[in-house]
Amino acid sequence: MRFWRLLTTSLFLLPLLLMQSVGHSRQSPILVSAAISLRRPLMEIYQLYKQQSKERHIQFNFASSGALKMQIEHGGAVDIFAPASPQYLDLLEKKGLIHLKGKRPLAANRLLLISTLVGDRGKKIASMFKGRSVQEILLDKRVKRIVVGDPRTVPVGQYAHQVFKRLKLWPQLQDKIVFANNARQVVEYLRRNEVDLGLVYATDWQRLLSHLPYREISADLYTPIEYPIGVTARGKRRGGVDHFFNFLLSPASRQIFNRYGFADGV
C-alpha cells in the first residue's frame, strides 16, 4: 500500500522535477521565424555565427509559412521572418508589420527534372538527359509516367504546370502525368521508382534523391522560386537584429545554402 502511494505521488511530482531543466532564460533573445524547409541551412549558419561573434542568443521558430504569418499578425514577438514564398512577407508589409524596404532575397530554389534508373528503359531515358531537350525527353515514347505536385494545392505543382504550359505540352502529357499531394510525396514516388520522371525542387533532390540523375530546366520556363527575408517592425527597434540579418545574407551563409541545394537569391 505504501509503495503504491509513493509511486502515485512521485508520478505527480515528476513534471515539477523536469521543470528545472526546462526553465527559460531571462534575457529576451532574437526570434527568427522561418519556413521549415530552411531549417537545416539556418541551423548550420547559426553555428557559424556563434563561433564568429559573441552576439546575443538567437532562437528559431520553424513551421509552415501560413502559421508563421498568423503568429506575427497576432502580436507574436518575432524579429526576423523568412517564409517560403514572397507573398507572406508582402501581406505583412501591407499591414505595417514588416519593415518597409527591408526585404531581401535570402535564397532561391530551382526546378529539376529527375529520372529514376529502373531497368533498361530507365537507363535509356536517363541517357537522353545529356543530349536532348526537355521537350523531347518528356514526349519520348518510353516515358510512361511523370509525377508532379498537384497544381491545385501545392506550389511545386504550380511551377511544374507553368513549365508544361510554356512548353505547350500540357494536353499531350495528360496521359502520362501523375499528381502527388505535396513535394514530399513527389520525392517518395521517385524514390520508390513508381514513375519514370518527376519534377522536384533542387533542394529536395539534394537531400533525398542525389543518387538519381537530374536535368536542369530553363529558368525562363517558370516564375522564380524566391525565399525572401525581412525584419519585422518590432525587430527593427531591437539591438543585434540587423547584425544577424546581414550575416544571413553574407557570402558565408550563401555558401551554406548552396550546399543544401539552394540557389542564390536574386
- Which parts of this chain interact with another protein (CB under 8 A)? 4, 7-8, 11-12, 14-16, 18-19, 21-22, 24, 28, 31, 33, 36-37, 39-40, 43-44, 59-63, 67, 70-71, 74-77, 184, 187, 204, 207-208
Taking the complex as a whole, the smallest distance from the CB of residue 199 to another protein amounts, in Å, to: 18
Count of alpha carbons within 13 angstroms of residue 195, beta-carbon side = 25
> Rounded to whole angstroms, how far apart are CA atoms 113 and 8?
59
Taking the complex as a whole, the smallest distance from the CB of residue 96 to another protein amounts, in Å, to: 15
Taking the complex as a whole, the smallest distance from the CB of residue 58 to another protein amounts, in Å, to: 11
The CA-based dihedral angle spanning residues 62, 42, 266, 63, taken in that order and rounded to the nearest 10 degrees: -10
Strand partners, 31: 59
Widest Cα–Cα separation across the chain: 80
240: left (phi over 0), alpha (psi -120 to 50) or beta: left
Taking the complex as a whole, the smallest distance from the CB of residue 167 to another protein amounts, in Å, to: 29
Taking the complex as a whole, the smallest distance from the CB of residue 77 to another protein amounts, in Å, to: 5
Nearer to another protein, 23 or 251 (CB): 23
Closest alpha carbon to 210 in 201, 220, 219, 222: 201
- Strand segments (E) across the chain: 30-35, 58-63, 80-82, 104-109, 111-115, 146-149, 177-180, 197-201, 214-216, 225-231, 263-264
**Is the dihedral angle over the CA atoms 161, 165, 171, 177 positive or is it negative?**
negative
Taking the complex as a whole, the smallest distance from the CB of residue 109 to another protein amounts, in Å, to: 15
C-alpha cell at 48: 557559424
101: left (phi over 0), alpha (psi -120 to 50) or beta: left
Nearer to another protein, 11 or 266 (CB): 11
Taking the complex as a whole, the smallest distance from the CB of residue 18 to another protein amounts, in Å, to: 4
Nearer to another protein, 21 or 174 (CB): 21
CB 181 within 8 A of CB 153: yes
Nearer to another protein, 35 or 163 (CB): 35
Alpha carbon distances (Å) from 262 to 12, 40, 119: 48, 11, 31
Nearer to another protein, 8 or 255 (CB): 8
Nearer to another protein, 42 or 134 (CB): 42
Nearer to another protein, 28 or 193 (CB): 28
